[in-house]
Amino acid sequence: MSEPQARAGARAGARTGAAARGSDAAPDRIEHPFVEFLRMYVRNWAATAGFAIFSVILFSALFAPMLLARDPFEMVWMPFTPPGQDGFVLGTDNLGRDMLTAILYGARATLVVGASAATLTIVIGITIGSFAGYYRGWVDEVLMRITEFFQVLPPLLLAMVLVALFSPTLPTVAIAIGVVSWTGVARLARAEFMRIRELEFVKAARSIGSRNRRIIWRVILPNALPPLIVNAALTVGVAILFEAALSFLGLSDPNVMSWGKLIGDNRDYLLDAPWTVTIPGVAIFLTVLAISLIGDGLNDAFNPRLRER
């Protein structure tokens, strides 16, 4: 072999060795779980748009007093002023209240009740579902019969009865919505616990003497959280719709502005002043849509099958 050929062979061997080292090193670079989660979430453009819409709504609700330092119940101008006229961007309602102010302040009550009711729903559902799925047997039978009893009751009617029996305040409305909405979460949690309790790492934890309480809350629950988190996001949207329905029917705090209350106060004037009903209706629609898109994005981000694509 000539000297130029030997040099060429050495360079080719060096490149081959470097490529082999690069291929061996590539699998060692493990992406951080949070970075991987964000990457999978951002891949869903609709979920990203939903997060942007919800961020604007949440920002408007949090900083409503700074954006418009005005009482949402204050009668500021002529009733039924159309949007864009006399300096009112969204017009006024039947009592001459500024619609923009009412929308901003109404977002606060709507989101607070929705988040509180969803939290209560998740707590009740996970507690009942986890015990039923883990212990099974007679515990599962009793808890599932209770779940079926609440499941066959009309949720809106039951919530109306609960709010009517007690004072129609925001905490009462949130509790009533949470009490009637937990059955779906309980069934999902039960299915996840029944599936995970038979896996090897749970059997290993049981074999070393871990108590049932530790296995339920420290071993199984963290692995069952992804689908429950997705369900929790969707539950917030359902709770917002429930709150709007109760407020529309007058079963809410009369001293707190909300989107459902705004629709209920102006429902008789839908044909004469449609903006007084359509604007808060669109606000509810956009909020629930944004939360649903966020839930869809969370489902993609938590789905391990999509990470391989």
Tens digits of pLDDT across the chain (309 residues): 444 444 444 444 444 444 444 444 444 455 666 788 788 888 889 999 999 999 999 999 999 888 888 888 888 888 888 888 878 889 898 888 999 999 999 999 889 998 999 999 999 999 999 999 999 999 999 999 999 999 888 888 888 999 888 888 889 999 999 999 899 999 999 999 999 998 999 989 888 888 999 999 999 998 888 888 888 888 888 889 988 988 888 888 888 889 999 999 898 888 888 999 999 999 999 999 999 999 888 887 877 555 555
Structural domains of the chain ordered from first start: 36-307 (1.10.3720.10)
Query: What pLDDT score was predicted for residue 4?
Result: 47
Query: What pLDDT score was predicted for residue 306?
Result: 54
Query: What pLDDT score was predicted for residue 279?
Result: 93
Query: What pLDDT score was predicted for residue 29?
Result: 54
pTM assigned to the model: 0.81
CA–CA gap between residue 289 and residue 73 (Å, rounded): 28
Q: Where are the alpha helices (DSSP H) in the chain?
A: 3-25, 33-42, 45-62, 64-67, 99-135, 137-152, 155-165, 170-180, 183-196, 200-207, 212-214, 221-248, 259-266, 275-302, 304-307
CA angle 180, 185, 190 (to 5 degrees): 130
Q: Kindly tell me the burial class for residue 98, based on how many C-beta atoms sit within 10 Å of its own C-beta (0-12, 13-18, 19 or more).
A: buried
Query: What pLDDT score was predicted for residue 12?
Result: 45
Query: What pLDDT score was predicted for residue 308?
Result: 52
In contact, 199 and 77? CB cutoff 8 Å: no
Query: What pLDDT score was predicted for residue 73?
Result: 87
Residue type present at position 230: V
Q: DSSP 3-state assignment of 73?
A: coil
Longest dimension (CA), the chain: 100
CA–CA gap between residue 43 and residue 37 (Å, rounded): 10
Query: What pLDDT score was predicted for residue 134?
Result: 93
Query: What pLDDT score was predicted for residue 24?
Result: 45
